[in-house]
Structure 1
Amino acid sequence: MEKLISGAQKLGLYLSREQLEQFHIYYHELVDWNRKVNLTSMTDYDEVQVKHFLDSLTVSMAMKSEDDSCLHIIDIGTGAGLPGIPLKIALAGIRLVLVEATAKKADFLRHLITKLGLDHIEIIVGRAEEIAHDTRYRESFDLVLSRAVALLPALAELTLPFCKIGGTFVAQKKGDIGSELNKAQRAITMLGGRLREVKSIGLPEFDDKRFLIIIDKVSPAPHRYPRRPGMPAKRPITS
């Protein structure tokens, strides 16, 4: 776990022996379950610790240190638990909700959480388009996360309705994001967001360009959004 340790330290996260053991268990459970459930195309040890685990921890760059221990966070389209579970391992005090539409992946998440001994995690099986209209979750979260789920215009519609006023949505992106970001401006504004920053992740552990798109929630999202399942991706709100 040397690359994970080194990268985490650059983020100001100093992982204990217990936390490193949790990441070790996470890796082996991921590889084991991946034989029967399509969780990831990446199973190499070094790749997973950098491109999955460390990449997930970069979300901490968008967090205020004084809020780390009490944030209420939702991870939309979490898949194998990324970025939510690595963040929970590193910052044990956060309260976490994981949204995953595929039941078999949710089964893995339940198993993993038990194996890791993590608490204050809720798993919801369903589509973000529908869950966002549930009053228990709508505009309830300090921090909304999403990693590799959709293009930003659709992603804004899927995520910003979960974010409370004064909260933050963080999208993890890589490569050339200029055009995607420009197309998303209308959706971001319409759904109550305001772009705060595009933060470049300059860690030497990564061999590509990675960014955090950080959006503050400044006004309520209109009640009609998100639209029915599939519509945000099929007909995105674009400039």
Structure 2
Amino acid sequence: MKTERLLLSKGAERLGIDLEEEALERLLLYLAELVKWNRRINLIARDTREEQIIETHFLDSLTLLPFLLEQRQAPQHLLDVGSGAGFPGLVLATVLPEVRFTLAEPRAKRVSFLRHLIRTLRLTNTEVHAERIEALMPDRQGCFTHITGRAVAEPALFLPLVRPLVSPETRVVLMLARTELLASIEQLPSGPWHILDIRTFNLPFSAASRVLAVVGACL
């Protein structure tokens, strides 16, 4: 795992993220379990090289860290919609034990993988909601400080989907490939939505562009 360790630590460093040794070890164990399980069930594309997995799944997920670290003085609870193999929610939970995470994933095989990893990594800050996101509504409105989802749907579909869970204090973090997808969200009928922060960057090895947009709503 020397190559994987170097790629993960070097990539995080290039993104301005400081990974502690314990967190790095857990992420490497996560990677090993993902590769092993992926031989049996389709968690990610079968032909994905480990170097690509590290960049496009693990490092991409870690780009949300600054948003959570900036508010770490207050209790935080992040909802990851359509968590799949745990990106970004379980990756973040692995390095942020003080933050609570709920992973919403309706597909049974992925739920089995997520729960296996939570046990293997001995995470006490993470729960899996094994149903569609609609089953969380409306009794958990305002329970989450942050809501995100990776490759679930474009903003025009994702924001109305999570709207029943959003309070004025909730921050929705959109993970995008380009800023053009933000063009019309302030006019969505599910709003009013307000873009509070936009950060653009490139992944450390492929230089693929990424956009993180923090969005809030007024009731």
TM-score, structure 1 length as denominator?
Answer: 0.81
Q: Structure 2: how far apart are the matches of 1:6 and 1:32? A: 24
Q: Structure 2: how far apart are the matches of 1:48 and 1:69? A: 32
SS at match of 2:170: strand
TM superposition shift of 1:66:
4.0
Q: Structure 1: how far apart are the matches of 2:166 and 2:15? A: 24
Is 1:147 the counterpart of 2:159? The answer is: no
Q: Structure 2: how far apart are the matches of 1:85 and 1:64? A: 16
Q: Structure 1: how far apart are the matches of 2:13 and 2:81? A: 26
Distance 1:26-1:191 versus aligned 2 partners, 3 A rule:
same
Higher mean C-alpha deviation, range 36-45 or range 53-62: 36-45
What is the root-mean-square deviation of aligned Cα atoms in Å?
2.1
Give the count of matched residue pairs: 214
TM superposition shift of 1:68:
6.6
* Structure 1 counterpart of 2:214: 214
User: For residue 67 of structure 1, what is the amino acid of its counterpart?
Assistant: R
TM superposition shift of 1:104:
1.2
Q: Structure 2: how far apart are the matches of 1:204 and 1:149? A: 23
* Structure 2 counterpart of 1:93: 98
* Structure 2 counterpart of 1:198: 198
* Structure 1 counterpart of 2:128: 123
Q: Structure 2: how far apart are the matches of 1:139 and 1:6? A: 37
Q: Which of 129, 133, 137 pairs up with 1:132?
A: 137
Distance 1:109-1:208 versus aligned 2 partners, 3 A rule:
same
Q: Which of 149, 159, 162 pairs up with 1:159?
A: 162
User: For residue 14 of structure 1, what is the amino acid of its counterpart?
Assistant: D
Is 1:65 the counterpart of 2:90? The answer is: no
* Structure 1 counterpart of 2:61: 56
SS at match of 2:167: strand
* Structure 2 counterpart of 1:5: 9
Q: Structure 1: how far apart are the matches of 2:95 and 2:134? A: 29
2:159–2:190 Cα contact (<8 Å) kept:
no
TM superposition shift of 1:159:
2.3
Q: Structure 2: how far apart are the matches of 1:30 and 1:182? A: 36
1:13–1:90 Cα contact (<8 Å) kept:
no
* Structure 2 counterpart of 1:23: 27
Q: How much identity, in percent, do the aligned residues show?
A: 30
Distance 1:216-1:7 versus aligned 2 partners, 3 A rule:
farther
Q: Unaligned stretches of 5+ in structure 2?
A: none
TM superposition shift of 1:196:
1.4
Residue-by-residue CA offset, 1:164-196 (whole Å, 9 max, x unaligned) = 32221001111x441x32243322x63353111
Q: Unaligned stretches of 5+ in structure 1?
A: 221-239
TM superposition shift of 1:96:
0.5
TM superposition shift of 1:212:
0.6
TM superposition shift of 1:39:
0.9
Q: Structure 2: how far apart are the matches of 1:111 and 1:183? A: 40
Is 1:47 the counterpart of 2:52? The answer is: yes
Is 1:34 the counterpart of 2:35? The answer is: no
